[in-house]
Amino acid sequence: MTIDWEQLHIAAFGMIEKAYAPYSNFPVGVAALVDDGRIVVGCNVENASYGLTLCAECGLVSSLLASGGGRLVAVYCVDAKGDALMPCGRCRQLLFEHGGPQLQVYMPTGIQSMSEILPGAFGPERLPRSVNLESSP
């Protein structure tokens, strides 16, 4: 399906003002295209107990499930200047779970697939009683 990166960038940048980042002063916004065509978004949410910070991608994945699920096709994460931001290591794993190796990620260095930015990923198919993602509700 066609990926409108400009549309994703606008949606991600729009989340910057929603971010709650009083400790780092580093707001992050993210938007993703879902395989049914809808757009889901997220922003980082920090906490006085610093280690409990939720990255923007955490919110994105919650939003994906809360709005009906599906598979992530393309993700665009930005900083306060609107520049592309690479997802942190933990978030690459989160995104991999819901987009798989084909997921397209807008990195500062250009568009890359998840298989390139998280090679050799551990995924649900490695578990003996792995769920069938195609038939999951």
CB of 120 to ligand THU, least distance (A): 20
Q: Are 114 and 121 in contact (CB under 8 A)?
A: yes
Q: Which residues contact 47 (CB under 8 A, 6 or more apart)?
A: 53, 54
Please count the helices (runs of H) and the strands (runs of E) in the chain.
Answer: 4, 5
Q: What is the CA 119 to chain-centroid distance, rounded?
A: 17
Q: Give the closest residue to 87 by CA, choosing from 126, 110, 117.
A: 117
Among 11, 34, 57, 98, binds ligand THU (CB under 6 A): 57
With respect to ligand THU, which residue has the nearer C-beta, 49 or 135? Answer: 49
**Stretch in the footprint of ligand THU (CB under 6 A) among 4-12, 55-63, 93-101, 112-120:** 55-63
What residues numbered 95-134 form the site for ligand THU, per CB under 6 A?
Answer: none
Catalytic residue (one of 6, 46, 57, 134): 57
6 part of the active site? no
Task: Tell me which residues touch ligand THU (CB under 6 A).
Answer: 21, 24, 26, 28, 44, 46, 53, 55-57, 87-88, 91
